Structure 1
Amino acid sequence: MFRTEDHPQWGLNPAVQKSTHTRGSLALQVLRLSYQATFVILFRYLKKLTAPAHHTMMTFGCPILCLLQLLSNRISAQWTRDSMLTATGSSVPFPGTDKEFNNLNWGFADSSRNLPITEVHEGNIIKYEKYKNRIEVDKSDGSFQLKDVGKADSGRYKMTVDLDPQRTRILTLEVIDPLSTPSISCEYNPENHTAVLNCTVQRGRATSILWSREEVVLPVSPRQSLSDGNVTFTIWNAEKSDSGYYTCSVENQVSQTNNTYQLVIEGHEPNPRARVGLFLPIILVIAAVLVFSVLLVHALTAFPSTHWSYRIRYIGTSPSLRSTPVHDVPMLVHVAIPLAQLE
């Protein structure tokens, strides 16, 4: 009853790389401004103070200045960092420094290990064993490219320049598997005419799953539903008109892809009772109108016209109304009928 036809289509290149840049510039600026303000206040009013006050200011002011300076240096080192996201098997460039240097080091760290990567000392490049065949280093600025990254390369990368905290840079790398082409399977229940489509991927983890038919996003009918995080698409009481091409599109942070399934439903027409249920109110209204019309015609033809005229002459209150024919005073018909029944 069903035929399948797979049409794999890749979206983004698996080597797509996304990066986000985060800096604690606000905290750093606040500390630096505090340092500068304290420095100005301390030395601007130092000469105007008396000897005891001068001694007190020097005792407490200098340690405060040193503390602010250390904090500003520490935050500049800790908050100058980047976060990068890349796909398994791609190459990742790591930036260098924009100033001259004598010694530059790169190192890697995660929750269980710390590894040296490379060192550039006075123009000489040193590559450590773990990364010796996987990196290309530019000795002019200390930048390097890491090839064929895997999930084990996810972690923190730290660049240290001449042991200067203000030139320290920390980068966090996350490596994610790109998605494989999704596989679509179908289960059909002939008893209740239910078709269930399932979309799964063998590699990677999808963050978004979307079903569509002829570029129209599903579901579009009360007979259609999604479940299990959009993995399963169900058509209840499936009809022949539901036959067609259904596309499952999957996506994560580094890739997107889709596949198409041809669904064919044969020999099943909509339930006749369902259609009768839709038209039943209309049929009842039409029947009621016909019955009312027949009763009205019967009531008008049940009595002779002279009899109606006789009753209307007694009901009327003016000479003009007494001479009016029966068909010109329909408002009095409902009054003449009970009078005729009393005789």
Structure 2
Amino acid sequence: MLICFFLETLGKGCTFIAVLLVVLQWTSEAARPLERKVAAVGSSVLLSAPDNIKDINFIQWEYLNGNISDFIVQYYVGSLEPTIYTHYGDRVVFYSTNGSLLLEKLQETDSGVYKASINLIESEARTTFLKVLRPVSQPQIWSNSSLAGSPIELFCNVPERTVENIDWEKEGGPLPQERCYLLSENDSVLHIGKGEKSDCGFYSCNVSNDISWQESSLNLIIVGISPPLEHALKMSAVALVFALVSGMGFFVLCCQSGKQRIKGETWRWMIIFIQGLVCVSCILLFAATVLWMQEEGQRVILDSAAPGAVILVVLFASLLLQKIYKLQDRGCSQTVDLTGYAVTSAVISLLGLLTLFIWYHRSQGDQRENKRHSKEEAHQEVQQELGEDMLQRP
């Protein structure tokens, strides 16, 4: 009976030792360092084999891709030539002296894990992770706007699959901390909230990966006014000069002495020229005002246009009526009766105002009626819910 107990205990101990050895083997394989190498497309890379085994009989290189492995080279010591598999036949150089492998004409598809085994000893195998990259191309940088007060975005355009890092700089240094700059998810877009004068300067977009880097710069010039406002500014300046010249011309004509007064054809052409300058200046000023309204001052002009226009029309119309009636008194014909025109225009304008007031009051009544109906419906729903709760109670 003791013998059976001893054998049973020994069997359990052997099982435990076997499991422990397997775990230690897995741990040793997991603890083996994974060498990492990076190379460019079209270049060559040398992969090293394990160098801690003395008696070498067999060397094997394989490419691991998930659960699938592709053999590259198999070499038995003493054989004339190694066995190089066709997929790598023209791009592989095997050195039998130390077991290293030279992989030439690299492609992006060559990225992966390469494993070198000696004598099929898995615990001593050497693995190398190879990453094959294309050199980054020159980035293109541009901005969507440069107008002061408007949101500005700087774009750095590069093929994403070749770039690992995108860094932004201003004037050769980091972005200023006092300004709130925001970056997109992949750092390819730099957001500037509202363009200010302090945002002017050279911005650099640096793109890089493990084998190369490129840089492009943009001189951001913040424009204070838009192109339409720039045209309005120029037209206002020309209109002001024309008006001043016209005023000087009128002043010269009015201040002439009796003997040196300009008369005849010359005087008539000077008046025409001065009046032409006044007309041109008025047209330019009107066009500049329209442009300014479209860009900046539309609300200000619209809020003050109606009262200002009323005052101007009343004054100018009164002046015209007075002057024209004086001219009419020079003859003996019957004066023009304006009563019908005044009554007709008054009726049309008053009817328009009355129509607007009626429409407003009707719309207000409809809104009040809709609110009353909505309140009644809500009250009925509440009463209905309360009745259902009373019925459901025991």
TM-score band w.r.t. shorter chain: 0.5 to 0.7
Shift of 1:253: 4.1
One-letter identity of the residue aligned with 1:128: Y
**Counterpart residue identity of residue 102, structure 2:** Q
| Preserved contact between residue 211 and residue 247 of structure 1 (Cα < 8 Å) | yes
1:91 and 1:146 in contact (8 A); partners too: yes
User: Residues 241 and 268 from structure 1, CA distance in 2 versus in 1: closer, same or farther, beyond 3 angstroms?
Assistant: farther
What are the within-5 Å matches in structure 2 for residues 132-147 of structure 1?
132-147=89-104
Instruction: Find the residue that maps to 2:161 and give its secondary structure.
Output: coil
Larger Rg: 2
The structure richer in strand per residue is 1
Q: Check if 1:183 corresponds to 2:135.
A: no
Per-residue deviation, residues 253-276 of structure 1 (Å, max 9, x unmatched): 44433211122345659xxxxxxx
CA distance in 1, matches of 2:27, 2:194: 63
The alpha-carbon distance between structure 1 residues 232 and 70, as it changes in their structure 2 partners (threshold 3 A), is closer
Distance 1:81 1:128, change over 3 A: farther
Separation in structure 1 between the aligned mates of residue 10 and residue 164 of structure 2, nearest angstrom: 59
How far 1:197 sits from its partner (Å)? 1.5
Alignment partner, residue 18 of structure 2: 66
Instruction: Name which of 46, 51, 68 aligns with 1:93.
Output: 46
Match of 1:214 among 171, 184, 198: 171
Q: Distance in 1 between matches of 2:166 and 2:120?
A: 48
Corresponding residue for 1:164?
121
1:105 aligns with 2:68: no
Give the whole-Å Cα distance in 2 for the aligned partners of 1:77 and 1:234. 48
Q: TM-score, normalised by structure 1?
A: 0.54
**Equivalence map 1:201-240=2 (5 Å):** 201-202=158-159, 204-222=161-179, 224-239=181-196
The SS at the match of 1:141 is coil
Partner of 2:329: none
2:10 corresponds to which letter in structure 1?
M
Asked if 2 retains the 8 angstrom alpha-carbon contact of 1:105 and 1:161, the reply is: yes
Cα distance change of structure 1 residues 78 and 218 upon mapping to structure 2, 3 Å threshold:
closer
C-alpha contact (below 8 Å) 1:198/1:233 kept by paired residues: yes
Structure with the bigger percentage of helix: 2
Task: Tell whether the 8 Å contact from 2:147 to 2:225 is kept in structure 1 after alignment.
Answer: no
SS in 2 for 1:130: helix
Match of 1:44 in 2: none
1:17-69 deviations in whole A, cap 9, x for unaligned?
Answer: xxxxxxxxxxxxxxxxxxxxxxxxxxxxxxxxx64554334333333333433
Contact 1:179 1:203 in 2 (8 A): no
State the one-letter code of the partner of 2:122.
P
Cα distance, 1:184 vs. partner?
0.2
Deviation at 1:165, TM superposition (A): 3.0
- 204, 208, 221: which is aligned to 1:247? 204
Pair 203,235 (structure 1): closer, same or farther in 2 beyond 3 Å: closer
Q: Determine the C-alpha separation between the residues in 2 that align with 1:143 and 1:229.
A: 39
Q: Percent identical across equivalent pairs? A: 25
Q: Partners in 2 of 1:157 and 1:131 — Cα distance?
A: 13
- Number of residue pairs aligned between Structure 1 and Structure 2: 220
For residues 150-208 of structure 1, the C-alpha deviation after alignment (integer angstroms, 9 at most, x for no partner) is 23122332222212233233333333444222210122264845543211213635443
- Taking the aligned partners of 2:22 and 2:148, their CA distance within structure 1 comes to 76
Instruction: Give 3-state SS (helix, strand or coil) of 1:69's partner.
Output: helix
Q: Secondary structure at the match of 2:34?
A: strand
Helix, strand or coil at the partner of 1:181: coil
Query: 2:84 is matched with which residue?
Result: 127
Following superposition, the deviation at residue 144 of structure 1 comes to: 0.8
CA pair 171-115 structure 1, distance change in 2 beyond 3 A: same
Looking at structure 2, the residues matched to 238 and 167 of structure 1 have their Cα atoms a distance apart, in angstroms, of 61
Amino acid at match of 1:93: L
2: CA distance between counterparts of 1:58 and 1:113?
A: 40
Please tell me the root mean square deviation across aligned C-alpha atoms, in Å: 3.2
Unaligned runs of 5+ in 2: 227-394
Do the aligned partners of residues 165 and 112 (structure 1) sit closer, same or farther apart at CA in structure 2, a change above 3 Å counting?
closer
Shift of 1:228: 4.5
**Does the Cα contact within 8 Å between 1:179 and 1:206 map onto a contact in 2?**
yes
The residue aligned with 2:8 is 56
Letter in structure 1 aligned against 2:171: E
